Amino acid sequence: MNNTKAILDLAKKTIDLQSKAIGNITSLLDANFADAVNAIMEAKGRVIVTGIGKSAIIASKIVATFNSTGTPAIFMHAADAIHGDLGTVQDNDVVICISKSGNTPEIKVLVPLIKRGNNKLIGITGNTESFLAQQANFVLNTFVEKEACPNNLAPTTSTTTQLVMGDALAICLLELKGFSSTDFAKYHPGGALGKKLYLRVADIVNNNEKPQVDIDADIKEVIVEISKKMLGATAVLKENKIIGIVTDGDIRRMLNKHDSIKGLTAKDIMTTSPKTIETSVLAIKALETMQNSGISQLLAIKDNTYQGVVHLHNLINEGIL
């Protein structure tokens, strides 16, 4: 039995329901949201994000987003908080408590303890009449009419709106703090994303061989240099200045054009005015230059002095491409 259509219909219905719920919470935003953002901005401490059940998982993700965008945050499980972890909350911290109902037993125990410490409390809840909403300094309404679960039980749509509300907070804080791509790179040094933001041409070239031949070098010497350094090209120099470049492609074209290579030199087959790039430039810019020019190598320079070759394969290996 082919049930593909039924499965796709259910998937589309779920996505449609959740997308409408996200759209709806924009109409629920009020001054509480702006006040909550300002409270976090003005706080001298961190943001402690807490919740129970699926809301705790959302809280953990929101903490990760805060930390990666310049807002120091710590996750505190609501159940653990009332069994010893409440010490996580310090005097100058702001606490965000996430709960769909706002009336779970753990929340009812935890909230008064937080209030006792005079910490600002932000409630993210779908029930503005709940215990959490009544106790919070600022209430962010994430009301949903129905969960995506057909039984209206499993937290699905409600956790999606909680997550979106957390993202909205993080992005507002990011913008207000003037958090730049350079700042972002400091928090994401690993992986392809980090490398796009901080890896420079020098970081690649310094680990490569440095192929180079004199302008009068014979073809055998040129071929040996390209093969030995394994970068598919060599710089051609005259009095230590870049005059041209010889690539694998130049070698192939030479062999097609000449029956005999005897007497040929680098000068005879090189490409003049080769593309160069400063070693201080981000590696992602080197990729853009290669793609725009339809080439696989760039000669790297520093203060107009030849430093080496950066190859497209280097960028692929680093995960830039």
Nearest-angstrom CA–CA distance, 228 and 211? 8
What's the token pair of residue 20? Answer: 């409408």
Nearest-angstrom CA–CA distance, 7 and 2? 10
Indicate if the alpha-carbon torsion angle 153, 157, 159, 161 is positive or negative.
Answer: negative
Task: Show Cβ contacts of residue 261 under 8 Å, excluding neighbours closer than 6 positions.
Answer: 219, 254, 255
- Find where tokens 């005097």 sit: 91
CA dihedral 173, 177, 180, 185 (to 10 degrees): -70
Amino acid at 144: V
Nearest-angstrom CA–CA distance, 84 and 63? 20
Nearest-angstrom CA–CA distance, 126 and 299? 58
Amino acid at 142: T
Amino acid at 68: S
**Residue closest to 310 by CA, chosen among 228, 232, 253:** 232
The verdict on whether residue 77 carries a ligand-binding annotation is: yes
Q: Detail the residues annotated as belonging to a binding site.
A: 77
Q: Detail the residues annotated as belonging to a binding site for Zn(2+).
A: 77
